[in-house]
Structure 1
Amino acid sequence: MDNKTLSAEIRTELRKSGAKKVRKSGRIPAVIYGHNEPVNISVDDIEFTKKFEKISENTIITINVGKNSYSVLVKNFQDDILTQQIKHIDFFEIEKGKTLKTNIPVHIEGSAKGAREGGLLEVRLHELEVECLPKDIPESITINVEELEAGDAIHVGDVEIPKGVKVLNMLEQTVVSVTLIKEEVEEVEIDEELLEGEEAEGEEEESEEDSE
């Protein structure tokens, strides 16, 4: 489990104008909430961007605010659609020794046999919802699809889950599958042939009526 550290400052101006001032100074407005009173803070934009090229809600972060430190997860963030600049972050404070619910990304490994033979590999679930202690949060769940043939599927109940982690998704949910696209194409071709035959018969009947 990856654990990163951030330095933060207490944020006292909580209005929109105050948030704008924080952003202009090169910092990101944020809040820490959870089992204690919310703490309004700001973190350095450059430091956060360097340490978090990709924001994930399963990375434990230690935030140091003066003499206090908080173990948190990123629960939500707002960014600018045009500039991609992060405008606000919600950090959720975790309690040691207490389980929590979070989403873990699914990582697909290998090239499916069925896909190599012309099938289509489809990933139905990109994340799994799990419950576990903070120390047991996995970075990702890896699924090897090498042996998947056309028509095969891997369901939640088939996935190997790390010890101490409970999956909350329904076990029969499909995570990844290989679709038989060749058969679909053949069926379409057969239907087109039948349609052409029916059209030809119709034309013959019309020509017979005209000759009469």
Structure 2
Amino acid sequence: MKFVAFERAKQGTGASRRLRNAGKVPGIVYGGEGQPQLIELDHNALWQAIKKEAFHSSVLDMELAGKVSKVLLRDLQIHPFKQQVLHIDFQRVSAKEKIHMKVPLRYRGEEESNAVKMEKCLVNHILTELEVTCLPADLPEAIEVDLSKLEKGTTLTLKDIELPKGVEPVLRGHTAEDTVLVSVVMPAAEEPEEPAADAAAPAPEGDKK
């Protein structure tokens, strides 16, 4: 994805407020060989861009002052109840340096699996994204996970799937074997209703004197 940014000279709360009132979003780009640089973006264009999954998980082309550089979205501040982006951060990336990024997991095929179709099981998606490291050129927009082979009572771990070429998981003390992506459980059995008490049943007799 490509977007256009503009140089921003002023900083501070007052300057940022004026930008937002003018339909702009203040931001910053940092990292790589260049110095941190203040930028601004058109709010309406940015609002449409952040609705797309690729904007959050892909290497982006940022055009600034007639030059295009590769960046990653690193932080996005949104107003708590307004549809308004308050601030945005980007990081420059080098084609020769590996990056860390969280990539969405796209699950498909569970409706065709025996677990769901035959056994009426429930499929729990334990993870919805996976942190990976790779070169920018190898970063996938998402990782496809096929669930069509799921069986009753099984789990799908990171070891059971094949990652795209050049992509390695960031496990942080875990292993591929104990990183569970999906679990399959039987639906809870419905408990039989207890028979209602007989309203016409005679009350117990009291003690006779």
Shorter-chain-normalised TM-score: which range?
A: 0.7 to 0.9
Q: Gapped runs of 5+ residues in structure 1?
A: 197-206
Aligned residue number for residue 139 of structure 2: 137
State the TM-score, normalizing by the size of structure 1: 0.80
Aligned residue number for residue 13 of structure 1: 10
| Secondary structure in structure 2 of the residue aligned to 1:62 | strand
Aligned residue number for residue 149 of structure 1: 151
State the TM-score, normalizing by the size of structure 2: 0.82
Partner Cα distance (2:11, 2:120) in 1: 57
Aligned-pair identity (%): 28
| Secondary structure in structure 2 of the residue aligned to 1:125 | coil
Aligned residue number for residue 25 of structure 1: 22
Q: Could you tell me how far 1:49 is from its partner in structure 2?
A: 2.7
Partner Cα distance (1:162, 1:46) in 2: 34
CA contact (8 A) 2:50 2:56 kept: no
User: After the TM superposition, which residues 43-192 of structure 1 pair with which residues of structure 2 at under 5 Å, given as runs?
Assistant: 43-54=41-52, 56-110=55-109, 111=111, 112-116=113-117, 117-169=119-171, 170-171=175-176, 172-182=178-188, 185=189
| Secondary structure in structure 1 of the residue aligned to 2:116 | helix
Partner Cα distance (2:41, 2:125) in 1: 36
- Alignment: residue pair count: 189
Query: Which structure has greater helix proportion?
Result: 1
Partner Cα distance (2:42, 2:128) in 1: 31
Seen in structure 2, the aligned counterparts of structure 1 residues 22 and 142 have a Cα distance that, compared at 3 Å, is same
Structure 1 residue runs of 4 or more that deviate by more than 3 Å after TM superposition: none
Partner Cα distance (1:18, 1:103) in 2: 32
Partner Cα distance (1:67, 1:104) in 2: 30
